[in-house]
Structure 1
Amino acid sequence: MAFITAYWGLDGMIALTALIIAAYLYMTRKFNYWKRRGVSEITPTPFLGNFKECVLLKKSPGFLMKDFYDQAKGLPYVGFYVLDKPFLLIRDREIVKNVLVKDFNYFSDRYGSPDPNDRLGYANLFFIKNPAWKILRTKLTPIFTSGKLKKMFELMIECAKNLDTHLESLTVDDARKETDVKDIAAKFTTDMIGCTAYGLNVNSLNNPNAEFRNHGRKIFEYGYIRGYEVLAMFFFPYVVRLAGLKTFGKDSTIFLRRVFWETITQRMESGVKKNDLIDILIELKKNHSLQNFEGFKFDGDDLVAQAAIFFTAGFETSSTTMAFTLYELAIHTEIQNKLRREILEALNETDGNITYDMLLSLPYLDMVVSETLRMYPTLPFLDRVTTETYKMPNSDLVLEKDTPIYISMLGMHYDPEYFPDPDKFDPERFKEENKHNIPSCAYFPFGEGPHACIGTRLGLLESKLGVVKIISKYEVTPCERTLIPMVINPKGSTTSPLNGDLYLNIRKINTSAN
């Protein structure tokens, strides 16, 4: 005889049904959380909430957030659910400004978080929590002064020479060469981060087996496993902790740790100074290694973490910007030609030399890159979490502590209220007289407020230098494998082309500045 009825099979069906009902009730218990607080919400589905397409890796979270943004037109904010957990998407610019700038102390931490035991992932400047974040940010800021950047630029020019050599090897006479410009851009920026952060001549452009490039590729190679790992870091931090996931992957974590300590040891023994990140980290280690700053110390993996994030974030953001810029220039020949004229005129005035001041003096280049960043921001959303109870200004809404807050950068960058005809690539939006028409907190490709990207100027230098090097001597055009329109990788949490590659034809041209 069975437990409930006379039949084991029937008992099993009853037990399974009860289990399903219990799971359903548990996973829907928080639904209507936002409605009860007078906030409009996007209707969730049981078990997955509003996150089904992301969980199935059919849509990137950046584009899902944009969908939420568009659906909530006219509202200051809208609630949604990741599985059963309530999240809030902010749409109103003034509230965005409050979250990112004015009331920063209530939103100083990101919601996304690696495993605290994964110190390379958790203790770096991008993810670390306040107040350790504030201390670290203050200590690392000096590396990005104008004086330091000018000295770094001298190292970057050497990497640009390697780019010349690589491009020469690809092109023959006037023939068009189908080329993965995303890979070229990634190798170029990997070399630049290798020299400016680690003081190493990586030269992955001309060495297909360069370790830095191989590990950089692994970190941002969005297959199913890696796609879920990165998605979990931004939206399911508790899963990351339970599974003990590594931010940079197991093999790459070992590599980054080894290279860092080899470089530190060699630099300390030689006494050589290169005015790079390693020099600053050596000084911090010497002066503060015995101190504990809110659970953070300038030693061990906490120190390695700064070089690791500098490398990974530095090469990927700049290479993506550079590649998408070349893509749009290939499609819009008239814009490419106009930019080339500006570049060649400037080179004629500097005897063909690219200088720091010359690169910053090209207004049309800045307009082109700014428009690329509007359409293809590397991280298409911003995440924050309330560190204490927060009352929304001019509203009865009170946000509980630990409420995840998200901002759709992509949604705001494509909002026709701020950018008319948003799907059109139009650098003129960023012409000096037009930039003033863009409202504050409507355009922020590097974030906004105290948490804005610390390496913005360095990243822009890298991208612009790469574009100038290529466009001054080469023409880029679409090829058979060029995706028109562009398709973004649905498995990636960052903005990346489908399959991670971006093919264009590249052809050497005759110019007066050659």
Structure 2
Amino acid sequence: MLILWLLLLTTLMLHSWLRHKYSYFTKLGIPHLPVSSCSPLGHLRQLLFLRISFGDLFKNIYADPRCSQAKIIGFFVLQTPALMIRDPEIIRLVLIKHFNSFLNRYEAADVGDPMGNLTLPLAKYHNWKESRQCMSQLFTSGRLREVMYPQMLNVVHDLENYLKEKLRNLSERVLPLSRMCQLYTTDVTGNLFYSLDVGGLRQGRSQLLKKTKELFKTNPRKVLDFMSVFFLPKWTKVVGAKVFSEDYAQFMRHLVEDHDEPKKGDLINQLQHFQLSRSSNHYSQHPDFIASQAGIILLAGFETSSALMGFTLYELAKAPETQQRLRQELREAFLGSCTSSISYDTLSTLPYLKMVCLEALRLYPAAAFINRECTSPDSEGFSLKPHVDFVIPRGMPAYISILGLQRDEKYWPDPCRFDPERFAPERLDSIVPMTYIPFGAGPHGCIGSRLGILQLKLGLAHILNLYRVEVCKRTVPEIRFNPKSFMLESQDEIYLRFCKDSPT
């Protein structure tokens, strides 16, 4: 009987404590989403049980009809009060104008996990700044044109041969997209950043791809680690959370150790020079510093870029007139080339290809959501006046649903329709600033955004110059995002019919 009374008392105390915690926004008069005081998970319940994707969760919070007119929405990351920012001008304040008051991302890895803690996305500002400056030198326009593009051409010709081998003498064939796109992006990453001739497209398999896919396989331990890093960063030490599995960490360490005679200026070479020039910086001198950056570059490039290419081909298959217009532009570009490819300058300036890629990134942004932690020098926090009568306290996470923002009918009429005309030159001035930020914005914006777009353009150009893609019986009627993936990834395999054009 005593045990029952103790359980009842504990339950009542927990209920009372949660009700107090969840009354935070009510007391301040801030629009917010209600949450049951019976649940300690806040608004993350579906996510923690892998029933909804990260992108869909934050999009749903952004688009909740109960707060459709609000500039900010209060919600709870477990029991921690958090903000969803919906107003473009406040988004600009947080990401750009007052960056110094939002220096860090909210997520973090424990110092006991150096491979995770050292990575550029998870490093805190004092360490992040120097690493960012170093790695930015890899993505200059000059390097993209003179160094990266010629290497990417080798990979994209392997992509052409991969498709030719799949079709052989057939005029058409239904193919799954994920494997092809993943091999393409890991081949590009290995070639550009590790000076490896990965050859995944030639062989139909890749060690880089295998290790990356193993890391993303879901199990209870990985779910706990990931959720701790993103939503309980102060508990990562207690939980013993690791960003990378030990097997993946060892693979990247060996990759760095075996990096013989690197091409001038690849990622590993660049970071080695950075270490030598920062001999007094304990952060960059850690033995895992280079391996950690090499590891995160592979993950970032693999999942976002491969999924985006698949999504774009899918949308083009469903819009044959749009695809035909793009293919006509590409055929003319290839006919005007003296080689089997097109030049960097030509690819970069094809107007309709650019419009198609921008629209694909609107529907499927590289970052479905981003966040910032309030680090305001003011002890009281950062005031949102005159936009909203609220002060964001230090330490509070502020989220921006890029997926929600870019599918908001307020800014994008008929938002789920694939329509490259939204980005026609004469319509660009009508786009509301900060409502199109597929790679984030401000100093923390994606470092490889230009490379990501270039990789997408090049892959599409070489595929669609040779083949028409069509929907088939196995094509999913709509994309469902995988609840087991942090990035936007299709839950279902995407099948399309690849067709050779009839001889004229």
- State the TM-score, normalized to the length of structure 2: 0.93
Q: Deviations over 1:79-126 (max 9, x none)?
A: 001221111111111100000000101111001122332222221211
CA distance in 1, matches of 2:422, 2:480: 23
Letter in 1 for 2:304: T
CA-CA distance at 1:491 after TM superposition: 2.3
CA distance in 1, matches of 2:486, 2:100: 26
Evaluate the alpha carbon distance shift between residue 226 and residue 358 of structure 1 in structure 2; reply closer, same or farther with a 3 A threshold: farther
Evaluate the alpha carbon distance shift between residue 218 and residue 157 of structure 1 in structure 2; reply closer, same or farther with a 3 A threshold: same
CA distance in 1, matches of 2:396, 2:327: 48
2:273 aligned to which of 283, 288, 300: 283
Matched, 1:463 2:456: yes
Describe how 1:374-453 pairs up with structure 2 within 5 A: 374-388=362-376, 389-394=381-386, 395-453=388-446
Task: Please tell me the root mean square deviation across aligned C-alpha atoms, in Å.
Answer: 1.8
2:150 maps to: 154
CA distance in 2, matches of 1:279, 1:50: 44
Letter in 1 for 2:32: E
Describe how 1:100-119 pairs up with structure 2 within 5 A: 100-119=95-114
CA-CA distance at 1:481 after TM superposition: 2.7
Say whether the 8 Å CA contact 1:203–1:210 is kept in structure 2. yes
CA-CA distance at 1:474 after TM superposition: 1.3
* More moved, 146-155 vs 243-252: 243-252
DSSP 3-state at the match of 1:406: strand
CA distance in 1, matches of 2:22, 2:466: 58
DSSP 3-state at the match of 1:439: coil
Letter in 1 for 2:309: M
Letter in 2 for 1:245: A
Letter in 2 for 1:359: L
2:292 maps to: 305
Say whether the 8 Å CA contact 1:51–1:82 is kept in structure 2. yes
Letter in 1 for 2:499: R
CA distance in 2, matches of 1:144, 1:448: 16
* More moved, 272-281 vs 80-89: 272-281
2:207 maps to: 211
Evaluate the alpha carbon distance shift between residue 184 and residue 224 of structure 1 in structure 2; reply closer, same or farther with a 3 A threshold: farther
Letter in 2 for 1:195: N
Letter in 2 for 1:475: R
* More moved, 167-176 vs 38-47: 167-176
1:15 aligned to which of 6, 25, 31: 6
Matched, 1:193 2:189: yes
1:32 aligned to which of 20, 23, 33: 23
DSSP 3-state at the match of 2:76: strand
* More moved, 220-229 vs 462-471: 220-229
Describe how 1:250-269 pairs up with structure 2 within 5 A: 250-263=246-259, 266-267=260-261
CA-CA distance at 1:209 after TM superposition: 4.3
Matched, 1:324 2:311: yes
Evaluate the alpha carbon distance shift between residue 511 and residue 424 of structure 1 in structure 2; reply closer, same or farther with a 3 A threshold: farther
CA distance in 2, matches of 1:228, 1:505: 39
1:3 maps to: none
CA-CA distance at 1:176 after TM superposition: 3.0
DSSP 3-state at the match of 1:88: strand
Letter in 1 for 2:494: L
2:347 maps to: 359
DSSP 3-state at the match of 1:382: strand
Say whether the 8 Å CA contact 2:228–2:239 is kept in structure 1. no
Say whether the 8 Å CA contact 1:473–1:511 is kept in structure 2. no
CA-CA distance at 1:223 after TM superposition: 6.0
Letter in 1 for 2:33: I
Letter in 1 for 2:444: H
CA-CA distance at 1:404 after TM superposition: 0.9
Evaluate the alpha carbon distance shift between residue 393 and residue 45 of structure 1 in structure 2; reply closer, same or farther with a 3 A threshold: same
DSSP 3-state at the match of 2:73: strand
Say whether the 8 Å CA contact 2:467–2:498 is kept in structure 1. yes
Evaluate the alpha carbon distance shift between residue 504 and residue 221 of structure 1 in structure 2; reply closer, same or farther with a 3 A threshold: farther
Letter in 2 for 1:44: V
DSSP 3-state at the match of 1:504: strand
Say whether the 8 Å CA contact 1:27–1:83 is kept in structure 2. no
2:322 aligned to which of 319, 330, 335: 335
DSSP 3-state at the match of 1:114: coil
2:49 aligned to which of 50, 56, 70: 56
Describe how 1:96-135 pairs up with structure 2 within 5 A: 96-135=91-130
Say whether the 8 Å CA contact 2:304–2:488 is kept in structure 1. no
Say whether the 8 Å CA contact 1:321–1:369 is kept in structure 2. no
- Structure 1 unaligned segments of length 5 or more: list them: 1-9
CA distance in 2, matches of 1:446, 1:34: 30
Say whether the 8 Å CA contact 1:166–1:206 is kept in structure 2. yes
1:4 maps to: none
- State the TM-score, normalized to the length of structure 1: 0.92
- Structure 2 unaligned segments of length 5 or more: list them: none
Say whether the 8 Å CA contact 2:225–2:239 is kept in structure 1. no
DSSP 3-state at the match of 2:20: coil
DSSP 3-state at the match of 2:283: coil
CA distance in 2, matches of 1:310, 1:236: 24
Q: Deviations over 1:416-459 (max 9, x none)?
A: 12111101110100111112111111010000011111111111
Identity %: 34
CA-CA distance at 1:414 after TM superposition: 0.8
